[in-house]
Chains A and B, each alone.
Chain A
């Protein structure tokens, strides 16, 4: 059939039909089985036999895990009480979940360790200062973030040092680090790691990319050596070998030794993170900076590092998460960090019940999870923000 025939047929048909719709009709809604909630469920959960099986297994798994967990953490939990009697199984209460009464009673211990009760306001001020510093630096639209950086990396460490350890000359009596414990120690270890590792990490990273062979070799050895061994051995080295390497009159404090170990370890990892950032900066930036006559340090401070650090923020935060989790390892060289205080409290016969241990771990888990999760959300937001920046 050729074109003229078709047209003829159409013309004939048009004359035969009395009414011709002048506008197109609205499309019918898609069948219920393909759209809306049902369609979505079909598409995502029941599209193939395998998918159906997976869905059923998943539902089973969730039903097996979640309700008992919620019951344990909330509905069957004991919220108040004086000692283990409160959390024991009785006739009236055949199922006992988490023993939060235990955590409530020991909360001060988990927070301050053996820090003298009358002096705990000093620790509170330290926590407050830390929170202010973190918010100042983490919130990108906060005013004067340059002062914030000075505050965080210079003012706060000095003030905290005086405040926590004491300075008899101004009326703050000395509190030995052996009295520190719990959250305080965890936060101190993490904060020292954060504050110290970034500058040292930057120096090591610059050293590794340096033109000078001796500097490069030194940086590479430090970085690769530390990254090649487990943190525990670094901590062991710091706690048993450091006293040997210094004059015997120094006898470094136990906490200080652990801090040295953690700072060294984190710096090496930080150096690799920063190096990745430095490598991502196009060579033109270096050449441009040198062309306008900036010295090496001016170039780094004004041109390269601001860009390099900005794109590495997510990775920096990720290594801070790792650091925060790794603070628990000071436990093994005998320092009472947050986890160690829980470990010590859970075996106290006063609270010896079948659920005490799990309660302690649950509490620690919630704490670490919240901290790490917030940090990882922040890193992810920064990543998204940086990604859009590149597109523009």
Chain B
């Protein structure tokens, strides 16, 4: 995912971003009547169009929530499929308003590339997938194993570091694309395949017999994935940031797509503030006060979109893990609406 090379082309665009982006993004979107969302396009669970062109995924639903908050219509949106390499350029040049493409939050991207990460909508990390028949339970048992990996990624470096740190022998087989690497793994060329854990679950579905493979518990790197916007437009930054927080808060308050109408009659002040019946928190963002209501009504809370796209209701069947709410032992934590 995280081509270091992306820095080359992208930061070029970052330089003039400050001027390009100071234009009011929200006004541009409103006058255009449609939100431009940079999405993955090839990763099941995060961003993938089906044969009819209907998009699904966690990141995709995040963009829909944005559209719902702005237009009260989650369909007023255009998804732009982006590759790992050209995603930042697309954001900087204004081709997309927001980048929601399972992008790792790193310091160089936050500073040099002129991006503002608005939060973490998926806590990821690099993991391993192996065949069940190997009877391996831990990545530490992979000494001497052949491992398929996509070349030129931080994944490749993390892998080498991990094996060196644990004094294990490594045999990598590198491929130019993730597709080829998975295919070679599936054909038996390697014992294990490594990439971000979320990617592993998605790629597992692309193997001939998904049930023959398991994802090992070890996570060997930190990959916080989140949406990002351009430097220089704080209002838009706030909107994107709080859209995520609204969905997390909604889950914490047990507001769901199904019960949101009922909940809006609640006396709980937290719920009232979130759903806009008390205070002017939406208008402060430049939206309407029922912005969060629109998001939950039309898209759902964080837990719902998680389960639908990557969780137990999806073919990926990823458990919440780090992405559970902070009240349930995870890391998803949103500042209060107050």
Supply 8 further A-B pairs (C-beta < 8 A) apart from A244-B8, A334-B83, A347-B179: A240-B8, A248-B12, A249-B16, A251-B9, A251-B89, A251-B93, A344-B179, A347-B182
Say yes or no: is A243 at the interface (Cβ < 8 Å to chain B): yes
Chain A hits for B8, CB < 8 A = 240, 244
Q: What are 20 A-B contacts defined by CB distance under 8 Å? A: A240-B5, A240-B8, A243-B9, A243-B12, A248-B15, A249-B16, A251-B9, A251-B12, A251-B13, A251-B89, A332-B176, A334-B83, A334-B85, A334-B177, A343-B179, A347-B182, A347-B183, A347-B186, A348-B206, A349-B206
Indicate if B81 sits at the interface (CB-CB under 8 A): yes
- The reply to whether the CB of B207 lies closer than 8 angstroms to some CB of chain A is yes
Asked if B145 is at the interface of the complex by the 8 Å CB criterion, the answer is: no
User: Per-position contact with B for A159-193: 1 when CB-CB < 8 Å, else 0?
Assistant: 00000000000000000001000000000000000
Q: Does A352 contact B (CB under 8 A)?
A: yes
Cβ of B208 within 8 Å of any chain A Cβ, yes or no, is: yes
User: Taking the nearest CB of chain A, how far is it from the CB of B226, in angstroms?
Assistant: 24
Q: Is the CB of A349 within 8 A of B207?
A: yes
User: How many chain B residues touch the partner (CB < 8 A)?
Assistant: 25
User: Are the C-beta atoms of A349 and B208 separated by less than 8 Å?
Assistant: yes
User: Chain A, interface size: which category?
Assistant: 10 to 19
Closest to A243 in B: B9
Asked whether, in the complex, the Cβ of B89 is within 8 Å of the Cβ of A349, the reply is no
Give bound CA distance, A174 to B89, whole Å: 19
- Report B55-102 residues with CB < 8 Å from chain A CB: 81, 83, 85-86, 89, 93
CA separation between A251 and B207, bound complex, in Å? 36
Tell which of A116, A248, A348 touches B13, judged by Cβ atoms closer than 8 Å.
A248
**Distance to closest chain B CB from A301 (angstroms):** 42
Q: Given contacts A240-B8, A334-B83, are A347 and B206 in contact (CB under 8 A)?
A: yes
- Closest beta carbon of chain B to A253's beta carbon, Å: 10
Indicate whether A122 reaches chain B with its CB closer than 8 angstroms.
no
Contacts of A349 in B (CB 8 A): 205-208, 210
CA A117 to CA B54, docked complex, whole Å: 13
Does B86 lie within 8 Å of A254, measured CB to CB?
yes
Which positions 199-239 of chain B face chain A at CB distance < 8 Å? 205-208, 210
Q: Which residues of A have CB within 8 Å of B89?
A: 251
Chain B residues within an 8 Å CB radius of A254: 86
**Complex contact B206–A248 (CB within 8 A):** no
- Name, among B12, B83, B89, B207, the residue most crowded by chain A CB atoms within 10 Å (CB to CB): B12
In the complex, what residues of A have CB within 8 A of residue B205's CB? 349
Q: In the docked arrangement, what's the CA distance between A249 and B92, Å? A: 11
Bound-complex Cα distance A334 to B84 (A): 11
Q: Which residues of A contact B179 (CB under 8 A)?
A: 343-344, 347
List the A side residues contacting B177 at CB < 8 Å: 334
Top-5 shortest CB links A-B: A248-B12, A352-B208, A347-B183, A349-B206, A243-B9
